[in-house]
A and B are shown apart, each in its own frame.
Chain A
Amino acid sequence: MNVAAGETQAGETQAGETQAGETQAGETQDDLASLPGLAGVPTVRGGSQLVLHPTREAYIEVVETLCGAGFDVCADLCGVDYLRHMDRALPDGVEPERFEVVVSLLSLGRRERLRLRVQVPEGDPTLPTLFFVHPGSEAMEREAYDMFGIRFDDHPDMTRILMPEDWEGHPLRKDFSVGRVPVQFKDAPGPR
């Protein structure tokens, strides 16, 4: 479900395929869709919030455009590893990748929030940093790096934040197994 770009300036092929009327287009969607930086960005409504699916290349530009449109607080940023759920529902034109970075932006003026979901490929898990647009994303990007190994280019301090410095691996990846102590049912010494 793509929102038709307000002007056909980008000449996106997918822009003509669906109509904006298909989604429950609210006011936000209408006036955001007319922003030049957001032309051709697949947009759906997830629950009460708009969800944008920018590409990695357009990511910073989209965030900057939204920042100018009032979404000036980066409320949350986290990674998701879709290793075991690759068949998730995504709008047309968005190729599923293993990792996703989900950014929740907040507009204090409009009292709205929206979400960005950026696909990050497994082979090259990098994304430009949001630090220079939203300095408050610093710790959250470090957490996403620590937990998923997604590197944020030009981040001022791309180090682990929650795990120890010498930790190996990224614990929230789905192929990072949870440590378990095997339960012994047989041959366990009796209580006395």
Chain B
Amino acid sequence: MSTGPTSDAPQIPARPANGQGATDAYVPELTEEHDAEEAINELLVHETAEGSQELGDRNTTPAEEIAIEEGAVLRIPEGLVLDPGNVDVEFGPDETMIINMGPQHPSTHGVLRIMLELEGETVLRSKPIIGYLHTGMEKTGEELTYVQGATNVTRMDYLSPLHNELVFSLAVEELLGLEIPPRATWIRMLMSELNRISSHVMWTATNGMDLASTSMMIYGFREREMVLSFFEKTTGLRMNHNYIRPGGVAADLPDGWEDDVAAIIGTIPGRIDEYDELITGQPIFRERTEGVGVISAELAKAMSATGPILRASGVPWDLRRSMPYLYYDQVDFDVIVGTVGDTFDRYAVRLNEIREACRIVSQIVEKMPAGDYRSQDKKVTPPPRQRIDESMEALIHHFKIFTRGFEAPPGEVYTAIESPRGELGCYMVSDGSNKPYRLHIRGPSFVNLQSLPALLRGGLIADAIAIISSVDPVMGEVDR
């Protein structure tokens, strides 16, 4: 539905008559001014048939649309029941102001732009405008073979790259009907839980920075570095690992990995207790987060929100528990839920999920079996390096897998895992060739971002900073 190309053009309000002396010199004939104005509008507002993506002026937007844009009125499962009392129609055109927050704003975690309609300092309407980081990764994914694909998807959510690789690999393996050796699956679990720790610790760091606790930021980055150096030791890279691949993982865990992991899970819970002391009980922090950005369970479900947002509103939905993948049904952990659904709950859920992740990791270390770290299916897995030196056939095989890859039978699958931000899904269509015919990633940040207008409504701009931070959007995944 187009918003109408002409009605949306910003109206430049006529200058008030007072103070004529100064302005007289600049005001040309009335008709000329009109032409000039139109010309400027044509230059400034580049309209297309699709209409403007931006938040429209209040006086040019119909009441129904305002109701929808206000988010909360509104986005209820029973359908759009417009309650005129709930719409701020009483505001005149001059009483409110639309300002841009971002795309270059330190608290928007990347290039997120939010248009806010303000009345004083209160947010009435808001609209996230995204796409500034769009690089067409789904299109790129159609051009890469299944072997190469993991390098592409790992760059989407750059704070939890291993989860991206995992969901991609699970989708390919379901297409192939491939069984993964137990050790490979446990390694995948170990790495994805460590990644959850690093991602959540990173979140507490940036959240601290957003709420003016700069020491928290330094601490958070310090802890993340512990995990990342283990990743570097195992995968060779700190981020964008391409470690979890269709068929298993790229390499076995390095010698002495138990000690490294033990050092991580021996240190982090103690540090989390310190942050608890530093942040959780702090009056300023609680003032800024409690009761701010409340979302009910019904609304969160209606908005398709997942992850900490949904759990903070009291819904015990965690794919690791509800629809277990890998071996999550064999480890013991708690699903953390909140009660109110405010920013503080989302903070508490994430903080406790770090503790639970440490619990899971310690169980994985105990249960890690010996065996292969990748499938021995010769169609999917390249031969070991040593064989290449002694066997021509192994060399050919190696070459074929890395140039042409392998074919997946025609079909379509949807797999989903619990990433630190919510449900990370991968819909993949195969036409029988060596590349996915269609690769779609359901990014949790992308979907969670639509609940922002509902969360921001009625709060202050300062609350908006806390709320955006608590949604934890990673723009690489939002825009893909």
Contacts and interface: CB of A to CB of B under 8 A. Distances in A.
B51 A49 contact: no
B53 A161 contact: yes
Which of A115, A153, A165 has the most B CB atoms < 10 Å from its CB? A165
Q: Which of A67, A115, A172 has the most CB of B within 10 A?
A: A172
B44 to A, nearest CB: 12
Interface in B128-143: 130-131, 134, 136, 138-139, 143
A32 interface: no
Contact of A140 (B322, B410, B431, B447): B447
Nearest to B134: A162
B157 to A, nearest CB: 16
Given A134-B304, A138-B450, A162-B479, A49 B414 contact: yes
A115 B412 CA distance: 11
A3 interface: no
A162 B46 contact: no
A172 B139 contact: yes
Contacts of A78: 427, 440, 442
A175 to B, nearest CB: 12
Interface string B407-441: 00011111010000001010101010000011010
A137 B77 CA distance: 11
B446 interface: yes
Contacts of B136: 171
A134 B414 contact: no
Given A88-B431, A155-B1, A165 B50 contact: yes
Interface string B354-374: 000000000000000000000
Interface size class of B (residues with CB under 8 A): 35 or more
Contact of B315 (A67, A102, A108, A113): A108
Contacts of B131: 160-164
A157 B2 CA distance: 7
A22 to B, nearest CB: 18
Contact of B447 (A139, A155, A162): A139
A111 B3 CA distance: 39
A157 B54 CA distance: 10
| Closest CB pairs A-B (n = 7) | A136-B304, A135-B75, A162-B131, A85-B431, A76-B442, A78-B440, A136-B303
B26 to A, nearest CB: 31
B416 to A, nearest CB: 7
Contacts of A137: 304
B4 to A, nearest CB: 12
A129 to B, nearest CB: 9
Interface in A65-81: 67, 72-76, 78, 80-81
Contacts of B427: 76, 78, 102, 104
Given A102-B440, A165-B50, 18 more contacts: A84-B431, A85-B437, A102-B414, A113-B323, A113-B414, A133-B79, A135-B302, A136-B303, A139-B447, A140-B447, A157-B3, A158-B2, A158-B50, A161-B53, A162-B130, A163-B131, A165-B48, A172-B438
B290 interface: no
Given A47-B413, A156-B65, A136 B425 contact: no
A178 interface: yes
A85 B425 CA distance: 23
Contacts of A162: 130-131, 134, 479-480
Interface of A: 46-47, 49, 67, 72-76, 78, 80-81, 84-85, 88-89, 102, 104, 108, 111, 113, 115, 132-140, 143, 147, 153-166, 171-172, 178
B138 A80 contact: no
Given A89-B410, A155-B1, A136 B305 contact: yes
10 contacts: A67-B77, A72-B301, A73-B304, A75-B425, A136-B302, A140-B447, A156-B68, A159-B3, A161-B131, A171-B136
A189 B429 CA distance: 43
B396 interface: no
Contact of B450 (A72, A136, A154, A178): A136
B156 to A, nearest CB: 13
Given A47-B174, A154-B1, A134 B77 contact: yes
A12 B458 CA distance: 52
Contacts of B322: 108, 111
Nearest to A112: B323
Most buried by A among B64, B131, B413, B440: B440
B425 A160 contact: no
A157 to B, nearest CB: 7
Contact of A88 (B48, B139, B305, B410): B410
A67 B76 CA distance: 13
Interface string B446-460: 110110000000000
**Which one of A73, A78, A140 has the greatest number of beta carbons of chain B within 10 Å?**
A73
B447 A178 contact: no
Contact of A178 (B48, B139, B479): B139
A140 B69 CA distance: 16
A161 B130 contact: yes
A68 B440 CA distance: 27
A26 B203 CA distance: 41
B231 interface: no
A126 B429 CA distance: 22
B80 interface: yes
Contacts of B303: 135-136
Given A85-B431, A136-B305, A163-B134, A72 B77 contact: yes
Interface string B114-138: 0000000000000000110010101
Given A163-B134, A164-B131, A165-B52, A104 B414 contact: yes
